[in-house]
Chain A
């Protein structure tokens, strides 16, 4: 379970998160929507401790992420994150990309890591690209590789930060299909996205971020069907 309690976070004088509270139980698929700069992506990087927070706290399975004694490297093993920019390691083949952290962080043997990498890469439809370097892949393929790389660490949670935003329109579908598949398999996921149709389909709940707070959170039928706040009504009118 991920528990976020009254988290505040500023970059300089700009307060990006203004008291965000949210609980994501195991197995839930939560999508986060909202305008650019509303703090959605920042929240994700705070959850796995890549960004410090100013106040409040975040608990992952009861462990406080930003507490002094927390072993972040250990904690990050159970939280996979995939970014808008897929960040393939260009000097490694697709297979090696997915094997590296398994070997160095989890201490898996070469054979174990390779078997798991092959399994995950097949899972996201890259079974025929194992020995290729990332520069030979399309953006959508690189993004799916990044997903496989995170999944190979056997995480309990997956965070997706606008994973389709940097892709050409025709490549968005293949990545969203991968996310749908994961959701269907019961992975606990928080997806920051601009794809409203996708959010409507896969989510258990949808959170609408506005100016650093969660303005509205509800199951998709409710949130999209009967938006309560004028901000959300305006946002939806603009995006559809």
Chain B
């Protein structure tokens, strides 16, 4: 039935290379999350702003990020900007593309979290003399991040998996890129992608479990 001999030994020899790729994948995911969260906080402020143009920027960002394929978003950063003469490395294109996507989804998560925080919290902060920005920064935002913490870990997992989309911009140093190169050289397709898949799984599992532990420590109230 099958005419395929498994050669795990040969594939496993490339494990160190794949682990190096995994490090790059994690690096991109973490950076894209840090950037994504920072932008999402700014976009959330834009959304709450009385200024229409700022609200429009946030709305357009979120709409595009959530309603077009992440693959297109990365492709556009690399080749779309490329047609305007802005040439980014595959690494940067992938990072920016994922960060863009993260920011859009996280802004939407934050919107949901905000509805759970009573308006009276801001009122209390303002009545103590805080500016609206101080009230957001010190009273609303910490509660918002807590409520949005689990959706944020989901997005982190998603960011890890999205790194494989680097394939469209010829990214070859991340886990998927490394696996793809190894496959082209050895044709041990099943073994190599199976190993890569296990590594992906272990990374994302570690993230969800440690996030849960972190949440328990971080949010004692």
Q: Do A and B come from one complex?
A: yes
A236 CA to B200 CA, complexed, in Å: 73
What sequence of 0s and 1s flags, for each residue 69-97 of chain A, a beta carbon within 8 Å of any chain B beta carbon?
A: 00001101100110101010111100000
Interface residue ranges of A60-118 to B (CB < 8 Å): 73-74, 76-77, 80-81, 83, 85, 87, 89-92, 100-101, 104-106
A143 CA to B55 CA, complexed, in Å: 37
Picked from B129, B139, B143, B220, the residue with its CB within 8 Å of the CB of A105 is: B129
Residues of A within 8 A of B161 (CB): none
Q: How big is the B interface, by class? A: 20 to 34
Contacting pair B120 A104 (CB below 8 A): no
Cβ-closest chain A residue relative to B120: A87
Q: Does B126 belong to the interface (CB within 8 Å)?
A: yes
A76 CA to B135 CA, complexed, in Å: 14
Residues of B within 8 A of A85 (CB): 120
A77 CA to B127 CA, complexed, in Å: 8
Picked from A74, A104, A149, the residue with its CB within 8 Å of the CB of B138 is: A104
Smallest Cβ distance from A37 to chain B, in angstroms?
19
Q: Does A153 belong to the interface (CB within 8 Å)?
A: yes
Contacting pair A91 B146 (CB below 8 A): yes
A85 CA to B220 CA, complexed, in Å: 23
Residues of B within 8 A of A81 (CB): 127
Interface residue ranges of B131-162 to A (CB < 8 Å): 131, 134, 138-139, 142-143, 146
Contacting pair A76 B121 (CB below 8 A): no
Q: Number of contacting residues on A, CB 8 A?
A: 27
Residues of A within 8 A of B143 (CB): 90-91
A100 CA to B139 CA, complexed, in Å: 9
Given contacts A89-B139, A91-B142, A91-B143, contact A101 B128 (CB under 8 A): yes
Given contacts A85-B120, A91-B221, contact A77 B126 (CB under 8 A): no
Residues of B within 8 A of A48 (CB): 127
Residues of A within 8 A of B123 (CB): 50, 83, 87
Interface residue ranges of B191-221 to A (CB < 8 Å): 219-221
From A74, A77, A90, A149, residue with most partner B Cβ within 10 Å: A90
What sequence of 0s and 1s flags, for each residue 28-54 of chain A, a beta carbon within 8 Å of any chain B beta carbon?
A: 000000000000000000001010000
A216 CA to B195 CA, complexed, in Å: 83
Residues of A within 8 A of B146 (CB): 91
Contacting pair A77 B120 (CB below 8 A): no
What sequence of 0s and 1s flags, for each residue 93-137 of chain B, a beta carbon within 8 Å of any chain A beta carbon?
A: 000000000000000000000000010110111111111001000
What sequence of 0s and 1s flags, for each residue 167-199 of chain B, a beta carbon within 8 Å of any chain A beta carbon?
A: 000000000000000000000000000000000
Contacting pair B126 A76 (CB below 8 A): yes
Given contacts A133-B221, A135-B221, contact A77 B121 (CB under 8 A): no
Contacting pair A87 B121 (CB below 8 A): yes
Contacting pair B129 A89 (CB below 8 A): no
Residues of B within 8 A of A89 (CB): 121, 124-125, 139
Contacting pair A77 B129 (CB below 8 A): yes
Smallest Cβ distance from A219 to chain B, in angstroms?
29
What sequence of 0s and 1s flags, for each residue 47-77 of chain B, a beta carbon within 8 Å of any chain A beta carbon?
A: 0000000000000000000000000000000
Interface residue ranges of A139-194 to B (CB < 8 Å): 146, 149-150, 153
A81 CA to B142 CA, complexed, in Å: 23
Residues of B within 8 A of A134 (CB): 221
Given contacts A87-B124, A91-B142, contact A76 B129 (CB under 8 A): yes
23 contacts between A and B (CB under 8 A): A48-B127, A50-B123, A73-B129, A73-B130, A73-B131, A76-B126, A76-B128, A77-B129, A81-B127, A83-B124, A83-B127, A87-B118, A89-B125, A90-B221, A91-B146, A100-B139, A101-B125, A101-B129, A105-B130, A134-B221, A135-B221, A146-B124, A153-B128
Which residues of A are interface residues toward B (Cβ below 8 A)?
48, 50, 73-74, 76-77, 80-81, 83, 85, 87, 89-92, 100-101, 104-106, 133-135, 146, 149-150, 153
